[in-house]
Chain A
Amino acid sequence: MLELKGVTYKIPGEDKEIIKGVDLTFEQGKFYAITGPNGGGKTSLAKLIMGIYKPSSGSITFKGEDITNLEINERSKKGIGYAFQYPPRFKGLRVIDLLQLASEIEERKVVRGYLRQVGLCPEDYLDRDADASLSGGEMKRIEIATLLGKNPEFTIYDEPDAGVDLWSFDLLLNVIKQKHEKEGLTTVLISHQERILELVDEIVLIVGGKIQDVGTKERIWPIIKDVVGCQWYKVCRGDVEDEAECRR
């Protein structure tokens, strides 16, 4: 459904490549997790898919169409969605404004439902400004609610668990999963949570801007626990010869 071929991304004006030759295919209807250490390139990969970053080289296709040069809003219209890791706040735009902008159906009654699904009481939130008065966790849930309203065929949720309390998070996860299954969507969760990794069909492991591996939890989990920790240490220290040593 969505395919990246040899995608590389360099920060403009800098030499450093933060995404290095990524080849990756997301299949229609599957549930994915992208995981890896902080700074591994998860968010950058999501931004490349959404069009927020433009690849330095390589190409991206969506449903067979080359979208490498499409703008963010054009990709959005084609059915790609991205829930930000750090959703921005807006002075003067209310929660209801964001929900109405996102949803196909703008009725108050309908957008209320999206808030309820993410565990926020619509009466308390709809008319509030989506500004700095909202906590991080509230903002994350509103962000997810807008994506529920938008209902893209392909959605990446960037660390939806960050800042959200455990109880609410179970609810969020259920909502995303149910929607995924019921509507045959393609869903990607960026996360470190073992619970999420257990839930998905496939895990993409990204380290140092490269795809380290793709597979089921049985396959990826040991690598995460073991090799990644060690490799990361090696990359960072640059002086560890023996993997066994660094695992100790």
Chain B
Amino acid sequence: MKLSAVDKKILQEVASLHDVPQGAYNIRKDGEGISRKSTENIEIQVKKDNPGIDIIVKPGTKNESVHIPVLVTRTGINDLVYNTFEIGEEADVTVVAGCGIHNTGSEEARHDGIHTIYVRKGARLRYVEKHYGEGEGTGSNILNPKTIIEIEEGGMAEMELVQIRGVDHTVRVTEANLYKNASLIMIERLLTHGDQVAKSDVIVNLLGEDSFTQVTSRTVAQENSEQVFYPRVIAKAKSRGYVECDSIIMDKARVRSVPEIAAYHAEAELTHEAAIGKIAGEQMLKLMSLGLSEKEAVEKILEGFLR
């Protein structure tokens, strides 16, 4: 299979890949799987009932990775895909998902990914999902990911969800169920500009004893863009949860943060923190006194904030 320059650029942005990845992978382009590889421990199968794939990681698989980038390179594409991940007991793997749109036309280019992830007993998953959009076209880039993650006893997941520029409209829905001793650390980093709109609904159910979650969003809203966050943590057992939303607002942007915590157990410990504010003036002055121009100082501060 040959990748075009555009394909490679998108792969670089969403998966830090220069070419076809090592290990197991599935590359989906404009609504079709174009290249796929399973390994001894990680099997990728095409779904029979729906568009999409099943990714099955054998129990005990350690230090392996799966890349499943999605490329949308044509205007007018409306791609819907269902992916299911089965992370076997005691496995320890990294999944790099992500979608990049290159839209040069006047129609919408849209990808809706519906992911269901099972982290089995004692397994560990690091999940990175990057969204990226580019192209000179006037058509909008739309990404609506939905992720459902079940973390069984003693399982652990770290999810990093990133969308920096280029995506015009996104509604992200994430739902997690944590059982005994399970933990989920989720960080969302987002930068919107222009007339972009981003919404994120997160709901984490702490169902098992001693489960733990930390849900963080770090976002920057520029120009005319709009962001809405609804992170919710619901504790139904002795458990701990922490929600933090922190946004930098600029220009004419609008940001709403509505963190919610709910406890249905007397031994639940939940906290939340939310802050929205402009770039601190003193930070600007400090960086400028080190020689940075105003523009460079803004970039540095945002780059750090979103790291």
Contact = CB atoms under 8 A, between A and B. Distances in A.
Q: Please indicate whether A and B come from the same complex rather than being unrelated chains.
A: yes
Interface of A: 50, 52, 71-73, 76-77, 81-82, 84, 86-88, 90-94, 97-98, 101-102, 146, 150
Interface stretch (B49-57, B77-85, B115-123, B297-305): B297-305
Given A90-B283, A91-B246, A91-B305, A50 B289 contact: yes
A248 B246 CA distance: 55
A39 to B, nearest CB: 19
A157 to B, nearest CB: 13
B171 interface: no
Contacts of B288: 71-73, 76
Contacts, number: 61
Chain A: interface secondary structure?
Answer: mixed
Nearest to B293: A73
A92 B292 contact: no
B250 interface: no
Interface of B: 218, 246, 280, 282-283, 285-294, 300-301, 303-307
B56 to A, nearest CB: 37
A44 B127 CA distance: 50
A52 B301 contact: no
Given A72-B285, A73-B288, A91 B293 contact: no
Residue of A72, A94, A97 contacting most chain B CB atoms (<10 Å)? A72
Given A52-B285, A88-B280, A88-B282, A146 B305 contact: no
Contact of A93 (B218, B246, B293, B301): B301
A81 B289 CA distance: 7
Given A76-B291, A86-B282, A93-B304, 10 more contacts: A72-B285, A73-B289, A73-B292, A73-B294, A76-B289, A84-B289, A92-B218, A92-B307, A94-B304, A150-B291
A138 B305 CA distance: 21
Contacts of A84: 282, 286, 289
Contact of A72 (B280, B282, B283, B289): B289
B296 to A, nearest CB: 8
A186 B301 CA distance: 30
Contacts of B292: 73, 101
A101 B300 contact: yes
B220 to A, nearest CB: 11
B283 A82 contact: no
Contacts of B218: 91-92
Nearest to B280: A88
Contacts of A88: 280, 282-283, 285-286
Contact of A52 (B289, B300, B303, B304): B289
Contacts of A91: 218, 246, 304-305
6 contacts: A84-B289, A88-B280, A90-B283, A92-B306, A97-B300, A101-B292
B65 to A, nearest CB: 24
B158 to A, nearest CB: 18
A145 B306 CA distance: 25
B251 to A, nearest CB: 20
Residue of B280, B283, B288 contacting most chain A CB atoms (<10 Å)? B288
A98 B307 CA distance: 15
A52 B287 CA distance: 12
A81 B285 CA distance: 12
B287 A101 contact: yes
B223 to A, nearest CB: 21
